[in-house]
Each structure stands twice: as structure tokens, then as C-alpha cells.
């Protein structure tokens, strides 16, 4: 059995350090037992799959680069696949990491999504499709995700308030781009702004006190 000299306790579990003080344990050589489920092996398998997938994506991209170089004039379409793979790799590393809270995941995944769409637009000839419909649809998608999250996580709805604000700010920027004449169709930017504004203001009005406290806490005011 394992023994922690510092805490003066005996630990039957298979472990090298004390669960209380993390001191290295002394052992008397007797058999140890697992008294709790082994979650580590599950995490290890997941990490292994992520690493394997990332490795194959990188190899695949290298193959694409070489193929692209020899089939067309220089390199063009493999940049698009490369960007897609980068986004997938980010998702695998960030969102499959259990330590990150799901709100952080939504937040960073949206942020990376915006960068991804803009870069993809540039790579496909900078025609501005990401600003015209890519980002407005993205904002609507984010609104839908937030709505679903708040329904499932009703007691803690205020924790999504900051991401809602983020969606609202992006939709305001898209609307500004329309008024500045960068994009020509009003329907999508207005829809994105309308939906984001309704969700945010509805939450703010219904749970005024909670929402106010949450924003105060977040912005230190
Ligand atoms: Zn101890």
C-alpha cells in the first residue's frame, strides 16, 4: 500500500503522488487497486486520434501542394485546401480539448471562422463573397448555436451574453460595410443584425438584473 509521510494517510489507489499534497509516496510493495474509473486512457485515445488526423492532414496538404505545382501554373487550389485543413486542425486541437469550457470554444471557433472565411475569400480571387454572404450567414449560425445553448443551459443563460455581444458587434460591422457601399445587398446584413439585436435585447430586458451584473463582471465596471 502507498503511504504519504507528510499527511500520514494510506492510499490504496494506483498512484505515485499523494492526492492531497502531491508528495511522492512511499510504498510497501503490496498490491494497489483502482478504486475509480480510468478516464485517462479515454483521453489518451482521443489525443492519439487527434494527432494522427493532424499528421495525415499535413501529409495530404504536402501532396496537394506538389500535385498543384505540377498540374496547374504554379500553386493555386492547394492554398484553399491548406486553409480548410488549418481550420480543421485548429478545431481538433482547440475544441477537442476538454479543458476549454464550451463557451470559450464557441467564442474562439467563431473568431477563427471569421479569419478562415476572409482568407478563403482572398484565396479564391478576393471577390468579396465572405462579406456578402459568408459572414452574415456565419453570424446567423452563431445566433442559432447560442439560442440552442441557452435553451439547454437555462440556469446559466447569462454566460452566453458576451458571445451574443460579439455576434451583435460583427453584424453591426457588416451593416456598416453595406452602408459604406462595400457590399450591395441589404437583406443578409440586416437579417444578421436584426436576429442578433433581438436575441441580445430580449435577454437583456427579461433578465435585466442578471444581465447587468454579468456585463459588469466581464467589463470590470
Ligand atoms: Zn500527502
CA 43 to ligand 1 centroid distance, Å: 26
103, burial (CB in 10 Å: exposed 0-12, middle 13-18, buried 19+): middle
Three-state secondary structure call for residue 33: strand
pLDDT at position 18 over 90: no
Residues 120-175 pLDDT 10s: 999 888 888 998 889 999 999 999 999 999 999 888 888 898 899 999 999 999 99
Q: Is 2 left (phi over 0), alpha (psi -120 to 50) or beta?
A: beta
Whole-number Å distance, alpha carbon 202 to ligand 1 midpoint, is 51
**Ligand 1 center to 7 CA (angstroms):** 4
Per-residue model confidence as pLDDT tens digits over 60-113: 999 999 998 888 777 778 888 999 999 999 988 888 777 778 888 898 999 999
Query: So where are the chain's domains?
Result: 1-36, 38-99, 125-221
Rg (CA), the chain: 25
Q: Identify whether the C-beta of residue 168 lies closer than 8 Å to the C-beta of residue 197.
A: yes
E-strand ranges in the chain read 2-4, 9-11, 26-27
**Mean pLDDT (whole number) for 13-38:** 80
Distance between Cα 10 and ligand 1 center (Å) = 9
C-alpha of residue 26 to centroid of ligand 1, in Å: 11
**Predicted structure pTM score:** 0.74
Amino acid at each position: 500500500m502507498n503511504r504519504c509521510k507528510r499527511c500520514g494517510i494510506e492510499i490504496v489507489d494506483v498512484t505515485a503522488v499523494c492526492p492531497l499534497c502531491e508528495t511522492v509516496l512511499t510504498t510497501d510493495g503490496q498490491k494497489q487497486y483502482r478504486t475509480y474509473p480510468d478516464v485517462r486512457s479515454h483521453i489518451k485515445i482521443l489525443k492519439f486520434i487527434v494527432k494522427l488526423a493532424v499528421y495525415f492532414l499535413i501529409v495530404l496538404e504536402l501532396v496537394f501542394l506538389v500535385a498543384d505545382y505540377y498540374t496547374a501554373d504554379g500553386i493555386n487550389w492547394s492554398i484553399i485546401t491548406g486553409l480548410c485543413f488549418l481550420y480543421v486542425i485548429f478545431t481538433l486541437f482547440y475544441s477537442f480539448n476538454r479543458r476549454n469550457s464550451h463557451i470559450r470554444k464557441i467564442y474562439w471557433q467563431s473568431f477563427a471562422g471569421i479569419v478562415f472565411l476572409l482568407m478563403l475569400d482572398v484565396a479564391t480571387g478576393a471577390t468579396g463573397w465572405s462579406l456578402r454572404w459568408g459572414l452574415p450567414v456565419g453570424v446567423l449560425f452563431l445566433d442559432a448555436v447560442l439560442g440552442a445553448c441557452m435553451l439547454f443551459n437555462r440556469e446559466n443563460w447569462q454566460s452566453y451574453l458576451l458571445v451574443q455581444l460579439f455576434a451583435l458587434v460583427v453584424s453591426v460591422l457588416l451593416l456598416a460595410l453595406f452602408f459604406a457601399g462595400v457590399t450591395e445587398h441589404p437583406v443578409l446584413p440586416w437579417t444578421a443584425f436584426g436576429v442578433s439585436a433581438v436575441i441580445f435585447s430580449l435577454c437583456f430586458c427579461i433578465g435585466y438584473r442578471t444581465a447587468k451584473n454579468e456585463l459588469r463582471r466581464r467589463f470590470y465596471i
